[in-house]
Amino acid sequence: MVYLTLFICFLASLSLTPLVKQIAIKIGATDEPNNRKVHKVKMPRLGGLAIYLAFILGMLILRPESSYTLPIIIGSFIMVMTGILDDIFTLSARVKLVAQIISAIVIVVGGIQVEFINLPFNGVLYLHWFSIPLTILWIIGITNAINLIDGLDGLAAGVSTIVLLTIAGLAIAQGQIFVFMVSAILIGSTLGFLPYNFNPAKIFMGDTGAYFLGYIISILSLLGFKNVTLFSLVVPVVILAVPISDTLFAIIRRVVNRKPLSAPDKSHLHHCLLRFGFSHRETVLLIYGMSALFALAAIVLSLSTLWGSFLIITFVMFIIELVVELVGLVNVNYKPMLKFYKRLVGSSKAK
């Protein structure tokens, strides 16, 4: 029944997207080109509404039994309404943040939060009151991370699908049926939108889609790895390594360049890869590949021993740092690891 529902959600999203496109154009929910954006013509956004409606249809069909279902529905509705208003009227950053905090609080009140972490060697770290701000921060952070990578045709939808496939696979392996069912519904809904969103895109998902996908992914990653071991807690971070690292280095870049954290720029990962010489499609596919690599690392990490986890985490951090330095994600002069390697090779040749 789950796979049939996934297919129904796919068809629903595929059918609804053209209708949503017409509505977006009619009400003026369009994205105007500017010097920071890649597209050159006015594009309808609001495509995330089709994903959301297909998702709701899937939830009505499957009716996954859990105390978390209602909080997820309420919180996602608030997030989607925020995205719709932003896609039409362009809300201020403060208003959007308040809406995100309210949506996150709905989830916390609904009982979704990381209360403790099982440490190596049978230790337990109780988070107590810190679990609430940590959960809220995680939801807001992942929501905005997915929004930040939504800069090229099909990028956020494709990366989100890879993340959801990984979460669904790990969930079914661990017996997390609710997480698996919700992930499957969202996979079908997102895949149905992707044919209209992949380059050359006919419609953007807008903040409606990016906020909704980021919000649900943040919750599923919490539920799928709730109250787990220290290194298993890193699993959702590794799965989401592409959007998290892009967001983290965007913050670092703005601090280094003494710019406001909310200041937009053209130095995100996809911008850097485009400047590196890759085409639009090549850039998207390359980031898909990175996401798939990190997804594989997360799967191996979930099955690893303590020392194996150390090695995998070190490998992931090495790959991220290498990509950051090669493409100039902080700035063109930030290359500490590559400079160290050149000095090391130079000193070896001198001998």
Chain segment 232-288, per-residue pLDDT in tens: 568 888 999 999 999 999 898 888 877 877 777 788 999 999 998 999 999 999 999
Q: Which residues contact 50 (CB under 8 A, 6 or more apart)?
A: 13, 16, 17, 19, 20, 189, 192, 193
Q: Which residues contact 171 (CB under 8 A, 6 or more apart)?
A: 177, 179, 180, 183, 220, 224
The DSSP secondary-structure symbol of 86 reads H
Structure tokens at 338: 């590559």
- Binding-site residues, in ranges, read 147, 207
Angle, nearest 10°, between helix axes 280-303 and 241-256? Answer: 110
Which residues on adjacent β-strands are paired with residue 119?
123
- Binding-site residues for Mg(2+), in ranges, read 147, 207
Chain segment 289-306, per-residue pLDDT in tens: 999 999 999 999 888 877
297-310 in b/e burial notation, b at 16+ Cβ within 10 A?
bbbebbebeeeebe
What confidence tier does 114 reach under pLDDT thresholds 50, 70, 90?
A: confident
Strand 43-44 to 116-119 pairing: unpaired
Could you give the percent of the chain with pLDDT greater than 70? 93
**Distance between CA atoms of residues 294 and 313, nearest Å:** 10
Which residues on adjacent β-strands are paired with residue 303?
none
Chain segment 37-64, per-residue pLDDT in tens: 666 678 999 999 999 999 999 999 999 9
**Strand spans (E) along the chain:** 30-31, 43-44, 116-119, 123-126
Q: Evaluate if residue 115 carries a pLDDT over 70.
A: yes
Closest CA to 70 of 113, 115, 107: 107
What's the pTM value of the predicted model, to 2 decimals?
A: 0.92
What are the φ and ψ backbone dihedral angles of 124, each rounded to 5 degrees? -135, 130
Give yes or no for a contact between 232 and 302, defined as CB atoms under 8 angstroms apart: yes
Q: Evaluate if residue 229 carries a pLDDT over 60.
A: no
Give yes or no for a contact between 209 and 202, defined as CB atoms under 8 angstroms apart: no
Give yes or no for a contact between 295 and 165, defined as CB atoms under 8 angstroms apart: yes
Chain segment 307-346, per-residue pLDDT in tens: 788 898 899 999 999 999 999 888 888 899 998 888 888 7
pLDDT at 351: 60
**Distance between CA atoms of residues 65 and 150, nearest Å:** 32
Alpha-carbon distance values, 59 to 3, 56, 63, 180, 288 (Å): 13, 5, 5, 12, 27
- Give CA angle at 246 (243, 248), nearest 5°: 105
Which residues on adjacent β-strands are paired with residue 290?
none
Query: Is the bond into 71 cis (omega within 30 degrees of 0)?
Result: no
Looking up tokens 């990653």 gives 221
